[in-house]
Each structure stands twice: as C-alpha cells, then as structure tokens.
Structure 1
C-alpha cells in the first residue's frame, strides 16, 4: 500500500457572533458564502444526531454557516451557546490546532483590512528568505480571537528548494 497526499476539505471555527463573522470572512477575507446561517438543535434529526455524536449530550443548539475559499477549501463558522474566548488565543503548547494559513500576494494590504475590521496584527510582516525569495508572512487574529497566518506564496513554493530562481540562475 503506497501513501499519497490527501486533499484538505475544510476547517471549523468557533465564533461568538455568527452574523459578524460571516460579514468579516466574506467582506474582508473575500470568501464565498455557500450556506447562510442556519440553526441546528439537539434533536433526532440527522444533523442533530451528528452534532451529539461529536459534542456529547447537552449542547442544546448552535448556529452554523458555510463559506469557501477560491481554491474550494471550506470554512465552517460555528456559534455555540455559552461560548467564551480563551485566556490565550495562541496557546501554542496545547496539543491541537494552533493556526491555519491564508494565501494572498498582498500580505500587507490584507493585514490592514483585518486590523481595520477589528482584528489584530500579531507581528510585523516578515520575509522568509530575505534576499533570496520574495516570500512574506504574518500572523494575525480575526476580530473573534482566531489566530491565523497569511503567506504571500503557496506553501509548497515557500518550502521547496529551488522554487524561486532568477532567470538565468544555474
């Protein structure tokens, strides 16, 4: 049996205000809204049973919206009853997801839009390979405390050897 890479389908984000999050992720980030905000109840419906399987009994209700990036990656936004912001939005020592990454050639421009919409810039924009490759990155936070990174170039180009060479270079 040979190993092969699988494609990435979606990521789920918990937010305190689904309507504001949909507005942020569509207007600022440019994602497509593919399913408007929907309420899901803890009941015997198929989706109600699926949520209970994952969340356990007693979750009562939630709201969810589905968005997509230009390269077909899904963004599920969840508003859970009684949700709260963690003390540290970047608890990097905790096991589990600690960030996701969005690609935009205008790292600085997107960062400015995020900050203007109530998000945070967590660091200065940095070059990955100063003087070698024109690849930039920055960590930011959405207005709801979700930390993510912005890359100027694709992941595989950023980390592959020889992915960027001046014309005529050997």
Structure 2
C-alpha cells in the first residue's frame, strides 16, 4: 500500500464564449500571467488531437485554448469551444461538479468592484464576514463577465477554516 499525501493543485479548465476577452479579463483584472497565447486545436491525428478525442469523444472538431498562471503558479486553461453555450443560470450548486472557484485578495471590496467594472456581476450585495467583530476574514461571490462563478476570499483558506466550526 502506498503512502497517502496531499497532492498539489495543478490547473483548472474554464470554458468561455470569447477567448480574447477572457484572456484580457483574467490578465488585466486578476493579474494572471499569459503563458501560452490563444491557440487553435483541431481534431486530427496529432498527439494533442488524439488526446482531446480521448477526452471529448469523436466529433469535437476544433476549439481554442490559452494558458495562464496565477501568482501562486496554479495553471488556468481557458477554452472556447465551437458549440459553446451560455446557460441561463450557471449557478446550479446542487448538481454534482465544480460550481465555483476562489481567488484570494486582501482587498475583497476593490477586486469585486474591478470584476464588476469589467463586466462581471455580484452574486452577493456586499462581502460577508466569517467571524463578525472578531476577525477580518471576508468573502463575496461574483460572476466573471462570462458567467463563471468566482468567489473572493480576503485571507487564506487555512486561516479562515482553522478554527473549525463557524
């Protein structure tokens, strides 16, 4: 039996309707690094084409992708698919799957304003405190300009949850 240890997080893939706009948003508002510019990927017999067919199944045809990196070296893959659809409500939290991702910024309010100014929207009227009157730990749920659910924390995950129950 092998040892169990905490794996590190490598990357996350985010589907967007417009790759150039997403790259601009995530580099200009979030400050993430562009490490591979938008690139066309086609269904063919190349290594990447075959890899994508393994994942998506035959008939995916083509998509566009860009690679970014956060300040703590987490990879962000932005995908623009040919048959991309915007759901009416992208917040079906009760369904299995990832329903949000979270970034950390000590000035939650300022980043929330920047996201909103760039075309995103607030899912909460204002940031909330985890321990009101005790600690400055805050959070807010937002949407990026493409409808993806984005949460902003003021402090690290470990600090916010290290006390145990709320």
The within-5 A match list for 1:106-121 is 106-121=107-122
Where does residue 167 of structure 1 map in the other structure?
Answer: none
Quote the Cα distance in structure 2 between the aligned partners of 1:78 and 1:111: 24
- 1:94 corresponds to 2:95: yes
Where does residue 104 of structure 2 map in the other structure?
Answer: 103
Following TM superposition, by how much is the alpha carbon of 1:131 offset from its aligned partner in structure 2, in angstroms?
1.3
Where does residue 18 of structure 1 map in the other structure?
Answer: 19
CA offsets 1:85-139 (integer angstroms, 9 cap, x no match): 1121100111010111000001000000000000001102100111121100000
Q: CA RMSD in A?
A: 1.0
Where does residue 82 of structure 1 map in the other structure?
Answer: 83
Quote the Cα distance in structure 2 between the aligned partners of 1:120 and 1:35: 27
- Out of 137, 158, 163, the residue aligned to residue 161 of structure 1 is 163
Quote the Cα distance in structure 1 between the aligned partners of 2:101 and 2:108: 15
Where does residue 128 of structure 1 map in the other structure?
Answer: 130
SS class of match (1:37): strand
Quote the Cα distance in structure 1 between the aligned partners of 2:134 and 2:67: 39
SS class of match (2:65): strand
- 1:147 corresponds to 2:149: yes
Unpaired segments of 5 or more residues in structure 2?
Answer: none
In the TM superposition, structure 1's runs of 4+ consecutive aligned residues that sit over 6 Å from their partners are none
- 1:34 corresponds to 2:46: no
Corresponding pairs, count: 162
Where does residue 51 of structure 1 map in the other structure?
Answer: 52
TM-score relative to the length of structure 1: 0.93
Following TM superposition, by how much is the alpha carbon of 1:64 offset from its aligned partner in structure 2, in angstroms?
0.1
